[in-house]
Chain A
């Protein structure tokens, strides 16, 4: 599992903690850059939109949903990486997950936060967003729980809560390691964070049980979250959206995009945080194989979606399909097919699967394709509803382009802050994969 020989327990502590405790100028420059990009490209246009109204975006009467919601789906999808790798592989006791799951869980959390921001951007009047929660209020107003949008509020709140607890509880023993290696205010902070953890057999035993239950709860939750996101669309009667296949389609796409996202993040961690020793060929190889399977599943569902639409012969559905395949956004559709159905096939060859640079390019292309997929779902369906007099057109405004670009900087900023506060590689779980030191060795 280790490309450069097995480390000792003490080396694991040293390597992981040094990535947190030693910070060079390169980190601060990168953090400053991402924060500036987030401020200029995300928050400033958002403030502009808050001042002038949602008319600043390209949405119109015939297309009331736009890039903000397609980005919301994209970021929710990316969040499924942590759940798949951490929870599913924890329950199936896969050893190779142990070096990379913490970062995958962090991806889950920060993708969700970015996704939640897009809901706030989309709703326009941000100051009324609390109306969507069941909070007692003087107006006697309560949310309508028959609406899929309210399913979403409940699902995402639950997912955010569960993911935060999942990553925090898995990190408690490592917080204790940071506490023991620190002094001053950092030591005091990590004493609080680690709850006074000593690593007794009773503590490990209780954590093990609790963590397994968290994993058991989080897996169906993740599936439900993206199913519910798909129902935002599929429970409408809009042609191109009203498909029963949407829930598995969205879940599969989410896991696919999330796994590709993990490859990108693993590359960065190896390159910039010196984790070459812990994130090696075995991880790349396994993630590559997983991506091939997901790619084929995703392709199958896409073909199925086309087939069932064609087979129905309904004129409304056929028009939505024609617009998607040959209309204004057709180049984006075929780009998505190229990046998500054909490019991943390169990973069938070991020389692609075992090359970090090639895998980085493939993983980025997959996510470009997945971002496009979500845009196509939104932009080619609503403007083609039933009667031609209701037909319209949607094209994002500069505000939407800018906010989309800025969201990547927000995610990167959150991740950069995370790697300095939480060990990005789980210290104790890496130790579990090592051969114990023996007296007679």
Chain B
């Protein structure tokens, strides 16, 4: 079972979230119509692992970009005016572009992996959180915990609290 509490004011929402967090009830999700650093702090979200994907992508891109240029030159030898078949300076340009291409693609992959998206299954949600309301969701709570969470959140200034099914 999940408790879903809707707030009108950002300050009340953050206060409610902090109190539920310190009470240690269930698993906490905080939904807002815009990114809020304070909400991320409540959940203790620090540096995102996405950055590791970006770095890995950039390194893999650099290596594979240079390797591709060398390998294709060796497979399809094109002698031009006695110049080197493997010519490093122009290949650095290809390496540079591939570094960025793979960096971007790996960052995208990292985003999906870390955020858990796409997720089209049913999860506690209220569309107002994408307009002008702030929502605290407490998942995995039994009846007693759900009641406790509802009390805390109402005291913090929630406009409405309701119980819904947990994420499937």
Q: Classify chain B: how many residues form its interface, as a range.
A: 35 or more
Contact yes or no, B100 A217, CB < 8 A: yes
CB <8 Å contact, A437 and B8: yes
A146 within 8 A of B: yes
CB distance from B154 to the nearest CB of A (A): 15
Contacts of B161 in A (CB 8 A): none
Instruction: Give B59 Cβ to nearest chain A Cβ, in Å.
Output: 13
Is A141 among interface residues, defined by CB-CB distance under 8 A?
A: yes
Query: Can you list 9 A-B contacts (CB < 8 A)?
Result: A142-B73, A151-B97, A154-B94, A158-B98, A162-B100, A162-B101, A206-B50, A210-B50, A438-B10
Report if B119 contacts A (CB, 8 A): yes
Q: Is the CB of B130 within 8 A of A177?
A: yes
Indicate if the CB atoms of B108 and A210 lie closer than 8 Å.
yes
- Interface residue? B82 (CB, 8 A): no
A262 vs B72: C-alpha distance in the bound complex, in angstroms? Answer: 41
Shortest beta-carbon contacts, A-B, top 8: A9-B132, A209-B48, A142-B72, A180-B127, A204-B35, A195-B118, A142-B76, A210-B111
Residue of A nearest to B83 (CB): A146
**Contact between B114 and A206, CB atoms less than 8 A apart:** yes
Q: Which residues of A contact B103 (CB under 8 A)?
A: 213, 217
Q: A19 within 8 Å of B by Cβ?
A: no
Q: How large is the interface on A (under 10, 10 to 19, 20 to 34, 35 or more residues)?
A: 35 or more
Complex: chain B residue closest to A174, CB-CB: B130
Interface residue ranges of A344-382 to B (CB < 8 Å): none
Q: Are B108 and A165 in contact (CB under 8 A)?
A: yes
Evaluate contact between B33 and A191: CB separation under 8 angstroms.
no
Cβ of A240 under 8 Å from chain B: no
With both beta carbons as reference points, the residue of chain B lying nearest to A161 in the complex is identified as B101
Taking a contact as CB atoms under 8 Å apart, the answer to whether B50 and A141 are in contact is: no
Stretch at the interface among A299-307, A413-421, A428-436: A428-436
Expressed in whole angstroms, the Cα–Cα distance for A154 and B102 within the complex equals 12
Whether B147 is near chain A, meaning CB under 8 Å from some CB there, is: no
> B34 — which chain A residues lie within 8 A by C-beta?
9, 204, 428-429, 431-432
